[in-house]
Amino acid sequence: MKTSFATGALASLAALALAGCSYVNPITTQENYAASDGSQVQMGAVEGLNLIVVSPGAGEPGTLIGTLHNSSAEDIDVQVTFDGETMTTVTVPAGQNQQLGPADGATEVPGTTEVLPGLTTEAALMSSTDGTFTVEVPVMDGTLPEYADVLAELG
């Protein structure tokens, strides 16, 4: 009887000790993060995902690429700018994504101000339902092959 009580107590203590790991240390796999080169921003029902400015080179204007996702049941207009001058209105359909960039079916968000690849620039996104949000987005050039294709589409 003493052995089974001791075994049960030991098993309970071990289970409690092992369960304490997640109590003391946060579970990082449950945290939201940008899993790519780009930045993200949550604007109420609209989320900006993998936002990146792509430029042909130092001192040249660029274009914003990424995705806007609308989790609401209504279309939402988002005004987007990253140069403080040129504002592009993007309609994000209810429950869908809207791609940003020069590809077919995407909405191009150009800028006129010179940007520097390797640094960041501030993008402003104004949702018709949730206000204005700003996010620092990285500026990339054609050094990485995945962005060379985007630059070729800009032509």
How many residues would you count in the chain? 155
Q: What is the mean pLDDT of residues 86-97?
A: 95
Give residue 147's pLDDT band: very low, low, confident or very high (50, 70, 90).
Answer: confident
* Cα 84 from Cα 122, distance rounded (Å): 9
Give residue 153's identity as a one-letter amino acid code.
E
pLDDT in tens, 52-66: 999 998 888 899 999
Predicted TM-score (pTM) of the model is 0.77
All domains of the chain in start order, with CATH: 39-154 (2.60.40.1890)
The percentage of residues in the chain with a pLDDT greater than 70, rounded to a whole number, is 82
Whether residue 1 is predicted with pLDDT greater than 60 in this model: the reply is no
Decide which of 5 and 110 is more confident.
Answer: 110
- Can you give the pLDDT at residue 90? 96
Give the contacts of 67 (CB within 8 A, at least 6 positions apart). Answer: 48, 49, 50, 97, 98, 99, 100
Decide which of 106 and 85 is more confident.
Answer: 106
